[in-house]
Structure 1
Amino acid sequence: MFSLFKQDPTKKLREKYNAKLERAMQAQRNGDISSYSFIHAEAEDIWREIERIESSAK
């Protein structure tokens, strides 16, 4: 009954992940490959955290 009000623990992380990917894409388009690599690595760390949370919830 109260699961309706339960927040998704990964929702904010997914938003942050998508924002990082967007920034990485913009850096790549601007020709700044080193920034692209750094930002993409941060996005992958966030994705690993999302996967960890989802696997522990199951």
Structure 2
Amino acid sequence: MFGLFKSDPTKKLQKTYEQKLEQAMLAARNGDMRANASLTEEAEALREEIEKLKQG
């Protein structure tokens, strides 16, 4: 019953993950490949964390 009020941590991580991917796309469009690479790396780390939370 009280689980109804708990927030889902994966939702926040998913939103952050999507924002990082969008920032990476914009950096690539602007020609900044270093920023694109670092943002993509951060996004992949978030994706792995999301997968861990979904597994257990």
Return 5+ residue gaps in structure 1 as ranges. Answer: none
User: Counterpart of 1:12?
Assistant: 12
User: Across the two proteins, how many residue pairs are aligned to each other?
Assistant: 56
With structure 1 as the length reference, what TM-score do the two structures score? 0.86
Alpha carbon RMSD of aligned pairs, Å? 1.0
Following TM superposition, by how much is the alpha carbon of 1:2 offset from its aligned partner in structure 2, in angstroms?
A: 4.2
- Write the deviation string for residues 23-44 of structure 1: whole angstroms up to 9, x where unpaired: 0000000000111000000000
User: Counterpart of 2:28?
Assistant: 28
1:9 & 1:54 partners in 2: Cα distance?
10
2:49 & 2:26 partners in 1: Cα distance?
24
With structure 2 as the length reference, what TM-score do the two structures score? 0.89
Following TM superposition, by how much is the alpha carbon of 1:7 offset from its aligned partner in structure 2, in angstroms?
A: 2.1
Return 5+ residue gaps in structure 2 as ranges. Answer: none
Identity, in percent, stands at 50
